[in-house]
Chains A and B, each alone.
Chain A
Amino acid sequence: MAESRLRISKLDGVTQVEFVDRNILDEANIQAIADEISRVVEATPEPKLLLNFANVDHLSSAALGALITINSKVKERRGSLRLANIDPQIYEVFLITRLNKLFEIHETAEDALESFA
């Protein structure tokens, strides 16, 4: 198996995923990341998932697509997904695409963690 591009931790029932790469652009890489997150989602009955973008400088539309697919999987399992620590330039991409309406986005990981309570 290829080396993971994610750091996954669990705190108070919330699975936090941090991205190792600054650029999430390449489709093969995105697919590997999506598959790994999907395995986490599918291993939990009502997953509480926090995706922390603190290290990320660039996201492609293919990465946005993977986030949408993950969101659908989380909802199918009656779980909840939060995004946090999104760089202002990337957040603008969420605004332009109106994906800020689809995702619950928090400024910090702490805010996102509290929102699960």
Chain B
Amino acid sequence: MSSPCADNPGTDPDAVHVGVPYDRDRIDELEERLLEAVERAGYEKASRFAIKLAFEEALMNAFSHGHEGLGDDVEVEVEYRVRPDEVFIAVQDQGPGFTPHEVPDPTLDENLAKPTGRGLMLIRAYMSEVTHNAAGNRVEMRYRRPAD
């Protein structure tokens, strides 16, 4: 990847493009950096909760499903741009991808007691816009600042 690595995220702390392996300390560090940028841009607590939740779920989907069977060293690519009116986050894994509309609705009665399958619906619930690439291994999320 030609983008800066996680140890050298570039000069703009509000616009980052990095690769991150499945290493909790590295993930926490990146998440903290994102949330600091979000706070600097003046987003309220509820917005920061939503962004943290979606970021976590997207990353865990990438590592648990996208990178299933791959090593922890295989990096997930993360981009984010924090602006006063919108936060953009993209997460791309190196797996074969999935078909988002084939994920069963976890809120149906017959699926309520299933322990998995809620990550994507939570991302959709908390983000303003969620799109996937054709291959199904990249999710792009936009969170628009709520009206005051």
Interface residues in chain A, defined as those with a beta carbon under 8 Å from any beta carbon in chain B: 25-29, 58, 60-62, 64-66, 68-69, 71-72, 89, 93, 96-99, 101-102
Residues in chain A near residue B106, CB distance under 8 A: 97
* A65 & B113 in contact (Cβ 8 Å cutoff): no
Report the stretch among B10-18, B53-61, B74-82, B130-138 that lies at the interface. B53-61
Residues in chain A near residue B60, CB distance under 8 A: 25, 27, 60-62
Q: With A89-B46, A97-B106, A99-B112 as given contacts, are A64 and B53 in contact (CB-CB < 8 Å)?
A: no
**B52 nearest in chain A by CB position:** A58
Q: How far does the alpha carbon of A97 sit from the alpha carbon of B46 in the complex, in Å?
A: 18
Q: How far does the alpha carbon of A101 sit from the alpha carbon of B107 in the complex, in Å?
A: 10
Residues in chain A near residue B122, CB distance under 8 A: 61, 93, 96-97
B70 at the interface (CB under 8 A from A): no
Within the complex, the shortest CB–CB distance from B117 to chain A, in Å, comes to 8
| 18 CB < 8 A contacts A-B | A58-B52, A58-B53, A60-B53, A60-B57, A60-B119, A61-B119, A62-B64, A66-B115, A68-B113, A68-B115, A72-B113, A93-B53, A93-B122, A96-B125, A97-B118, A97-B122, A101-B112, A102-B113
* B64 & A27 in contact (Cβ 8 Å cutoff): yes
**A101 nearest in chain B by CB position:** B112
**A71 nearest in chain B by CB position:** B113
Within the complex, the shortest CB–CB distance from A30 to chain B, in Å, comes to 10
Residues in chain B near residue A96, CB distance under 8 A: 107, 121-122, 125
Residues in chain A near residue B121, CB distance under 8 A: 96-97
* B118 & A89 in contact (Cβ 8 Å cutoff): no
Within the complex, the shortest CB–CB distance from A66 to chain B, in Å, comes to 7
Known: A64-B115, A101-B112. 8 other contacts (CB 8 A): A28-B24, A60-B57, A61-B116, A68-B114, A89-B46, A96-B122, A99-B112, A102-B112
**B115 nearest in chain A by CB position:** A65
Within the complex, the shortest CB–CB distance from B9 to chain A, in Å, comes to 21
Q: How far does the alpha carbon of A71 sit from the alpha carbon of B114 in the complex, in Å?
A: 11
Q: How far does the alpha carbon of A58 sit from the alpha carbon of B48 in the complex, in Å?
A: 11
Within the complex, the shortest CB–CB distance from B66 to chain A, in Å, comes to 14
Q: How far does the alpha carbon of A26 sit from the alpha carbon of B73 in the complex, in Å?
A: 17
- Please provide the 6 A-B residue pairs with the shortest distance between their CB atoms, ordered closest to farther: A65-B115, A61-B118, A68-B115, A61-B119, A98-B107, A96-B125
